[in-house]
Amino acid sequence: MSGHSKWATIKHKKGAADQKRAKVFAKLIKQVEVAARQGGGDPDANPTLRTMYQKARDNSVPLDTIKKAVQRGTGELEGVNYEDIVYEGYAPHGIAMMIETLSDNRNRTGSEMRSLLTKNGGSLAEPGAVSWQFERKGVLSVSKDASEDDVMMVGLENGAEDLQDLEEIWQVTCEPTDLNGLRDALEEAGIKVVESDTPMLPTNLVPIADASEAKAIMALVDLIDDHDDVQAIHVNIDLDESVMAELA
């Protein structure tokens, strides 16, 4: 259970910078609200809500704000009926993209996704054209205060499939259904979990060794990520170490 995920490293560092943006709070609150609407307001009976609730807490969203989002989801407070829509597409240089959105207007969001992609060297794909290149996984970012052996020991006993060294953190991967139980086991063992989520991970990576190509791809990723309806973007890019250094 070893290795190194360059894209995950970028996402982790980008995520740390994103904490400064209020927009991140809004996206997390929306995810909590939708999870409560789809599966009820009890995190113990709704694993998706528990995951989104914990994700919001990991990113310092106030408890009262989370509670109100749950209440909007369950109908106790008035809220917007968001639709969960996933768009498939390509960034420049053949990089596959999965774009997860929550929208109150499917036509508007679809039109804006198509425009962002086509105006920046990408394209929108038909459903199924890209999704086969990704699989949903549970992913935990674990503090390096814990040793690799300790994380691995607890992980293997509680559903972990992979452990990667991302320089600043350990990344533990499991099936989505094992995410909450694995997090509980790690924390009960005194191992700090920085955050956890259920992203779509690429099954195969496309190597990019040219800095200008990488910048074009990342510029599109950032533009899409800034859209209010976009909750997550997943790509199958594998960046050369020298390119990563230049981007950083």
- Whether 160 is in a domain gets the answer no
pLDDT at 2: 33
Q: For residue 117, give every residue at least 6 positions away whose Cβ sits within 8 Å of its Cβ, in sequence order, or none.
A: 89, 90, 91, 123, 124, 220, 224
How far, CA to CA in Å, does 181 sit from each of 56, 103, 160, 186? 18, 30, 10, 9
Same domain for 89 and 44: no
Same domain for 126 and 210: yes
- Whether 164 is in a domain gets the answer no
Sole residue written with tokens 């790509």: 235
- Whether 46 is in a domain gets the answer yes
pLDDT in tens, the chain (248 residues): 333 355 555 555 555 555 556 788 899 999 999 999 999 999 999 999 999 999 999 999 999 999 999 999 999 999 889 999 999 999 999 999 999 999 999 999 999 999 999 999 999 999 999 999 999 999 999 999 999 999 999 999 999 999 999 888 999 999 999 999 999 999 999 999 999 999 999 999 999 888 899 999 999 999 999 999 999 999 999 887 777 777 76
- Whichever domain contains 54, its CATH number is 1.10.10.200
* Closest listed residue to residue 43, CA positions, set 69, 14, 79, 17: 69
Q: 92: which 2 tokens?
A: 């420049």
Last residue of a domain, one of 34, 56, 74: 74
The secondary structure element, H or E, covering residue 243 is helix 241-247
pLDDT of 53-86, one tens digit each?
A: 999 999 999 999 999 999 999 999 998 899 999 9
Same domain for 68 and 100: no
How far, CA to CA in Å, does 86 sit from each of 55, 101, 154, 162, 234? 20, 6, 34, 26, 11
Same domain for 218 and 122: yes
Same domain for 221 and 129: yes
Sole residue written with tokens 């994380």: 151
Same domain for 15 and 127: no
Same domain for 88 and 39: no
The total of structural domains in the chain comes to 2
- Whether 23 is in a domain gets the answer yes
* Closest listed residue to residue 52, CA positions, set 84, 79, 78: 84
pLDDT at 95: 95
Same domain for 216 and 238: yes
Same domain for 121 and 101: yes
Same domain for 22 and 118: no
Question: Residue 19's domain spans which residues?
Answer: 10-74
Query: pTM to 2 decimals?
Result: 0.86
Same domain for 70 and 87: no
Contact 47, 184 (CB under 8 A): no
Taking only Cα atoms into account, the Rg of the chain, rounded to an integer number of angstroms, comes to 18
